[in-house]
Structure 1
Amino acid sequence: MKKILEYALSTRDVKVIAGTFAVENFGSRRVMEKLGMTYLEDTEYTKFDDSETFKVQTFFRKF
């Protein structure tokens, strides 16, 4: 993830990044925290085929 972030910042005019993950996915939360991202909100996500809806959290970071 750090390399992707470095690439985005060096080649694009990125001002904010955001990431959303299922609340039970603690590994993804930890990655976002390590990248310096901050909690924004709890929401729900529904798959495109409407087969499942689950709780998610969104984190962000401004540059």
Structure 2
Amino acid sequence: MRKVAQIRVLHAEMLEIVAELDRERAAQAAGYSSLAAYLVEATHMARAKATRRPGWSRRPP
């Protein structure tokens, strides 16, 4: 169970970083059309996963 707890902590930290990148519009400043496009390119994350926003029914203002 200790490893599961570590994975959860790391996942939460990753989500905080992604949220900060989104708030600061860092991907657009780096020349990407969206944060999802940046995540796909930089992390090789699947496009479907990069565009999913847990708990959000639509993009916040």
Class of the TM-score when normalised by the shorter of the 2 chains: under 0.3
State the TM-score, normalized to the length of structure 1.
0.27
Which protein has greater RCO, CA pairs closer than 8 Å, 6+ apart?
1
**Which is strand-richer, 1 or 2?**
1
State the TM-score, normalized to the length of structure 2.
0.27
